[in-house]
């Protein structure tokens, strides 16, 4: 195979507005409007493997795993994301309302000590999970990422359930975040209808994604940069305020840890806080999903994965420690929230207002708005790529696999964008009931996704060893190793148990009616039966089996098969580094 043929099949970085290809002049290429129209046509290289009919499969076999693996490995998605995009997505991609606003409810429920313990525990679990995902995504940068890994290393039926679970999570989050963005405007007591703001924010989010993966990457780079600067600024301000440096003066120290106290509602309060804290980290796994659209995942993905340590330590643990020092958990404003993006319930905003600082609370509300738009942007990206990967594996309608010449899964983006129009329910009287059940659908999705990532990594490592490979062949190894994946898997199971408990018997359940208890349980645990509705019928119909480690395909989709010597050279160079550089590279 010659160079040009190889590039046509595997390098999708060429776009409609790139320099003219061989044999093509500026005149034959067409005008800008013509090139824009042409860019929406199907990528001529989209069908990289022949379609295999059910009739050609072995008796009793209805799911063709080999074909599914090859389809996702050779997806025509563009590889336009750079290292800086991945690093900012990793550092600030999931910093959103869960930190800026949701932490207020967590603080009120469990107290400052529970707040800190919960976020630290979830952070440790996610550190292990993202490293496990990074190891698999570097060696297999395929479309669909973790959903595909569940199909490939666990069971095709479970991969089907996880793929649709993840897609539904982002599909329902999109309208929720659009409404949340419109509600941030209410902080300034705007007289303009929420529907107008919904239309504006919907248009912004959809437009960004129509620019393709590079548009998503650039937007997230800017959004994440703003969020990171805001959190760092708050940390500096929080230290000053705690040490009596605010306009109102007065040393605070650890007073609120003594009065009203460090804990609230005991052990059940801590369990409730852990479950709620998990939602603040939603989107952390997106860095793995983006691997299939990264120019050089072997170089940029490990660095991005390591950034998770700093995000957890600096942006969550340090900032929330200060929040617990500056705001008592008895403050009524923490729970008097209309919605997840109500800045009036944000402990960050409350601490600023308590200090008597003018204008800065409005600045923080702008940051919250940007964070919400960022999550909405990720919602279209995450759902569209997952739907396209499911279609490529024949686990979703085939039209969703349509990918144009700019590498955009157009039909999948269109479906996600259309569901975003549900945000106009914000202008109706039933918005709270509708959105409560939409939140319920996505409630456990991330916990199930993270648990599946850890389990897939455990089975991958087992298959890697059984099939005669050594760990030295891996371009990137999880720093937490296989033990970290077991810790992450077990902790996710414990989170599911804790969610069941607080859903079945929530804090204050003695005063609730039977109907209220039933509604509370399903609002907390609806995602579990939804996943089972995907998993069980699919498994019975296609008669899939849990994959044997000896039969797993560990070759298809490995973008670089002949790099052992490169890895050896790199490790030889690393061994010669001074101690400070090895330490720096370990964390960065």
Q: Say if CB 216 and CB 208 are below 8 A apart.
A: yes
Q: What is the dihedral of CA 429, 201, 523, 395, to 10 degrees?
A: 130
* Positions of the chain with pLDDT lower than 50, given as ranges: 1-28, 48-60
CA distances from 583 to 124, 301, 580, 587 (A): 19, 18, 5, 7
Residue entry with tokens 């490990």:
302
Dump the DSSP string for 142-186: -TTHHHHHHHHHT-HHHHHHHHHHHHHHHHHHHHHHHHHHHHHGG
CA-only gyration radius of the chain, Å:
24
Cβ neighbours, 10 Å, residue 259: 8
Bridge partner residues of 294 (DSSP): 81
Of 457, 572, 571, 402, the residue nearest 135 (C-alpha)? 457
- Tell me the β-bridge partners of 81: 294
- Collapse the DSSP code of 193 into the 3-class scheme (helix H, G, I; strand E, B; otherwise coil) and give the result: coil
Q: Which residues are 404's β-sheet partners?
A: 42
List the domains of the chain with CATH numbers.
Answer: 73-557 (1.20.1740.10)
Q: Give the residue ranges of DSSP H helices in 311-359.
A: 319-326, 347-354
Q: What are phi and psi for residue 505, nearest 5 degrees?
A: -135, 75
- Exposed (0-12), middle (13-18) or buried (19+): which is 49, by Cβ within 10 Å? middle
Burial 341-353 (b: 16+ CB within 10 A, else e): bbbbbbbbbbbbe
Read off the tokens for 164. 């649709």
pLDDT of residue 236: 93
| CA 255 centroid distance within chain | 36
CB 194 within 8 A of CB 182: yes
How far is it, in rounded angstroms, from Cα 401 to Cα 378?
19
- Please check whether residue 379 is in contact with residue 201, taking contact to mean a CB–CB distance below 8 angstroms: no
């Amino acid at each position: 195979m010659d160079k040009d043929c190889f590039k046509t099949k595997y390098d999708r970085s060429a776009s409609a507005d790139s320099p003219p290809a061989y044999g093509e002049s500026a005149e034959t290429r067409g005008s800008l409007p013509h090139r824009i129209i042409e860019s929406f046509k199907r990528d001529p290289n989209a069908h990289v493997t022949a379609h295999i009919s059910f009739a050609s499969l072995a008796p009793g076999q209805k799911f063709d795993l080999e074909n599914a693996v090859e389809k996702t490995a050779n997806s025509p998605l563009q590889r336009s994301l750079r290292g800086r995009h991945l690093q900012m997505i990793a550092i600030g991609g999931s910093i959103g309302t869960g930190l800026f606003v949701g932490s207020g409810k967590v603080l009120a429920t469990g107290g400052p000590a529970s707040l800190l313990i919960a976020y630290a525990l979830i952070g440790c679990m996610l550190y292990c999970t993202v490293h496990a995902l990074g190891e698999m995504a570097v060696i297999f940068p395929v479309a669909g990422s973790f959903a595909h890994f569940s199909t490939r290393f666990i069971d095709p039926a479970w991969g089907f359930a996880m793929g649709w679970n993840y897609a539904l999570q982002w599909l329902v989050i999109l309208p929720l975040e659009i409404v949340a963005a419109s509600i941030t405007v209410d902080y300034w007591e705007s007289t303009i209808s929420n529907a107008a703001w919904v239309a504006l924010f919907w248009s912004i989010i959809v437009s960004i994604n129509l620019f393709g993966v590079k548009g998503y990457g650039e937007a997230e780079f800017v959004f994440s940069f703003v969020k990171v600067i805001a959190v760092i600024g708050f940390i500096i301000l929080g230290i000053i305020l705690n040490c009596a440096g605010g306009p109102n003066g007065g040393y605070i120290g650890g007073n609120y840890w003594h009065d009203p106290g460090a804990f609230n509602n005991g052990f059940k309060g801590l369990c409730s806080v852990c479950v709620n804290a998990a939602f603040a980290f939603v989107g952390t796994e997106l860095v793995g999903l983006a691997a299939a659209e990264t120019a050089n995942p072997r170089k940029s993905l490990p660095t991005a994965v390591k950034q998770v340590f700093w995000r957890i330590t600096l942006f969550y643990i340090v900032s929330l420690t200060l929040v617990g020092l500056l705001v008592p958990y008895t403050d009524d404003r923490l729970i008097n929230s209309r919605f997840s993006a109500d800045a009036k319930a944000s402990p960050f905003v409350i601490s600023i207002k308590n200090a008597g600082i003018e204008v800065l609370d409005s600045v923080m509300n702008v940051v919250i708005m940007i964070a919400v738009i960022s999550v909405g942007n990720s919602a279209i990206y995450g759902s569209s790529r997952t739907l396209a990967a499911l279609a490529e594996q024949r686990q979703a309608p085939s039209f969703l696999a349509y990918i144009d010449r700019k590498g955009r899964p157009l039909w999948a983006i269109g479906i996600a964008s259309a569901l975003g129009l549900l945000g106009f329910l914000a202008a109706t009287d039933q918005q709270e009931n509708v959105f409560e059940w939409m939140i319920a659908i996505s409630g456990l999705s991330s916990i199930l996704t993270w648990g599946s990532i850890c389990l897939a990594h455990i089975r991958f490592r087992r298959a890697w060893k059984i099939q005669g490979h050594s760990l030295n062949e891996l371009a990137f190894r999880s720093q937490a190793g296989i033990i970290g994946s077991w810790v992450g898997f077990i902790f996710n199971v414990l989170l599911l148990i804790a969610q069941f408990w607080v859903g079945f018997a929530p804090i204050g359940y003695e005063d609730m009616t039977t109907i209220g208890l039933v509604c509370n349980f399903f609002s907390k645990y609806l995602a579990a039966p939804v996943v089972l509705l995907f998993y069980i019928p699919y498994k019975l119909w296609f008669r899939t089996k849990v994959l044997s480690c000896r039969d797993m395909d560990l070759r298809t989709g490995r973008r670089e098969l002949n790099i052992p010597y490169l890895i050896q050279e790199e490790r030889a160079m690393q061994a010669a580094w001074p101690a400070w550089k090895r330490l720096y590279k370990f964390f960065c």
